[in-house]
Amino acid sequence: MVLPTSMPQRARPVASGSRAANRPRTVPEQIADEFGARVIEGTVVAGHRITEQEVALRFGVSRAPAREALRLLERRGLIEILPRRGTYVRAVSTNAIAELFNVRIALAGYAARAMAQARPDGHVGALEHRLADMRAMARRSDADPREFARAYSRAIGSIAKGSGNDALAAVMRDLANHTAWTTVWRHTLDFATPRRRDAVCRRIGRVVQAIAAGDGEGAESELRVALEDTRDTALGALTQLRGDALDERHRVRTQATDSDPRHDHKEETRHELAGRNRRPGKAPPTGP
């Protein structure tokens, strides 16, 4: 088992969309991100006993930030602190990581539905700006996949905030700060190509269209399908990295009602079809 021996250089957060101005990570957060990434990667094995002193020495910090980093890791479910017995690394399976994705997908879908129903003043426009940022980045051949992932996450954060549900937004913020996302974007090549980034932008564009139209069901379904696709790509990278198989029962899927963009990225949604088929003097088509 090998622990990291120094602080990561300018470790960057995966932004939640609600964190003030994408503030820099604190020293305890950076330590928790780096150490937690090693746990998820499997470099730090389950059952290993870890102490404040060891963390402080490995990262070249005092014991106070080391202690806070361990508390963060405990809240993230990556270590277990046992009174009078010590602190131990917990086992983290690929199945457990899949469930983190599933929880985030379910919450994001609910947030999209709530935002579509409420359509609060200013929030739809803010989401459209987030989408514009993603589209601008998607067109660049030299775009950093991790930067695009952060832009994507900020868009999801805007949806959480636009839901009007403060408790939901807070839970999604906590999930966005989980070490799992840091590790996923470090290793996956999900957003490495302009074509892939453009496909994601089209999907989020459909979500924005549904929200603006007040279509809660459509907004939820479109966002869940988009995030499930991202989850599947990330889990594929992690299973190769870790060497443990995923139990397919943990890959929960949404049943798309019209077209599933996982099969055809160019498929049109019912919102786009309604606009294209509309003619003067002819009512827009209706259907399930």
**Model pTM score:** 0.74
Supply φ then ψ for residue 89, to 5 degrees.
Answer: -70, 135
3-state DSSP of 66-131 = HHHHHHHHHHCCCEEEECCCEEEECCCCHHHHHHHHHHHHHHHHHHHHHHHHHCCCCHHHHHHHHH
Question: In sequence order, what are the residues at sequence separation of 6 or more whose Cβ sits closer than 8 angstroms to the Cβ of residue 217?
Answer: 113, 257
Closest by CA to 135, choosing from 208, 194, 186, 193, is 194
Distance CA 197, CA 250 (A): 26
DSSP letter, residue 221: H
What's the CATH architecture for 94-277? Up-down Bundle (1.20)
Distance CA 138, CA 198 (A): 6
Sequential pLDDT tens for the chain (288 residues):
445 544 444 334 333 344 443 567 799 989 998 898 888 888 888 999 999 999 999 999 999 999 999 999 998 889 999 998 999 999 888 898 899 899 999 999 999 999 999 988 889 999 999 999 999 999 898 888 888 988 999 999 999 999 999 999 999 988 887 767 766 666 555 688 889 899 999 999 999 999 999 999 999 999 999 999 988 888 888 888 788 888 888 888 876 544 444 444 433 334 433 443 333 443 333 333
Helices (H) and strands (E) in the chain, counts: 11, 3
- Tell me, rounded to whole angstroms, the distance of Cα 45 from its chain centroid: 25
Which amino acid type is present at position 119?
Answer: R
Q: Kindly report the CATH number that applies to the domain delimited by 20-89.
A: 1.10.10.10
Q: What is the dihedral of CA 234, 161, 139, 238, to 10 degrees?
A: -10
Q: Give start-end residues of each CATH 1.10.10.10 domain in the chain.
A: 20-89
